[in-house]
Structure 1
């Protein structure tokens, strides 16, 4: 099993909490991901190759998100969703997160390191 996965993925992640839109399925309204959120997830799938064997253990994630401006809220949830099925089976495996907000106006991206969670450190 892979001890650690390091990725750099280009593009600015949409805030999952602020990127929903209301649509109608017949007479029933529903909330779905915005076009920007769906485009970001598609971009991740193009840039990240699926591991031959997905990580199955509990994980710790170190994520640095480089936004194009100060405007977006720090929100890693769409990143973790997009990596599901590519790197690990389910984003619920991520039990510890270290998430940082940075700015790169010309090159928005995220950098992530995923490692197995080691119990008993704290």
Structure 2
């Protein structure tokens, strides 16, 4: 039986790389010297002891994300975001900016979301109870929401997922609020 041998790979020209930065370009960051630092510095800000108010929450109704099987594609042995996944992230980004444009307190809201620990609550409304898993749309919805807001998703320390049935209007309802993380 003959065996297949892959031809040697020829280096191609450099490709453009998409870079996403969660840093505000106008804000100057002071870098501490390593010799002066005595205790390890946390990259996350200490939580503030106030309870979140309605002014500091983002609540959106978004379309149901593509299933996990449709979010990624394998190209040349690499897993990449599919066109359906990229289109969903772009659509969510536009909806986020439309919602922020309608908000009268968007500057304080963005400042709070970029400096606090966050809690994410997603209510999935599917057409059928058995067709989709509740956690299948978590990652892409979380990534799209955080990318649209310009925040890093490592700030989310609490996640709540709920599954409901709505045959006429499938959607997800997302709420992102500042929170105080529980210590054990």
Q: Which TM-score tier does this pair reach, normalised by the shorter chain?
A: 0.7 to 0.9
The separation in 1 between residues aligned to 2:165 and 2:88, in whole angstroms, is 18
The question of 1:59 aligning with 2:118 is answered yes
Larger radius of gyration: 2
**Larger fraction in strand:** 1
- Contact persistence 1:65–1:109 (CA under 8 A): yes
Q: Trace 1:1-80 onto structure 2 (pairs within 5 A).
A: 3-9=56-62, 11-16=63-68, 19-24=71-76, 29-49=77-97, 52=107, 53=110, 55-56=113-114, 57-70=116-129, 71-75=131-135, 76-80=138-142
TM-score under structure 2 length normalisation: 0.54
Aligned pair in 2 of structure 1 residues 34, 68: CA closer, same or farther (>3 Å)? farther
Count of equivalent residues: 117
Q: Trace 1:87-102 onto structure 2 (pairs within 5 A).
A: 87=149, 89-102=151-164
State the Cα distance separating 1:17 from its structure 2 match. Answer: 6.9
The Cα RMSD (Å) is 2.6
Aligned pair in 2 of structure 1 residues 91, 16: CA closer, same or farther (>3 Å)? farther
The separation in 1 between residues aligned to 2:147 and 2:83, in whole angstroms, is 21
SS of aligned partner of 2:147 = coil
State the Cα distance separating 1:112 from its structure 2 match. Answer: 1.4
The separation in 1 between residues aligned to 2:73 and 2:182, in whole angstroms, is 42
Q: Which stretches in structure 1 are left out of the alignment for 5+ residues? A: none
The separation in 1 between residues aligned to 2:128 and 2:84, in whole angstroms, is 16
- Contact persistence 2:93–2:147 (CA under 8 A): no
**Larger fraction in helix:** 2
TM-score under structure 1 length normalisation: 0.78
Of stretches 58-67 and 33-42 in structure 1, the one that deviates more from structure 2 is: 33-42
SS of aligned partner of 1:92 = helix
- Contact persistence 2:70–2:85 (CA under 8 A): no
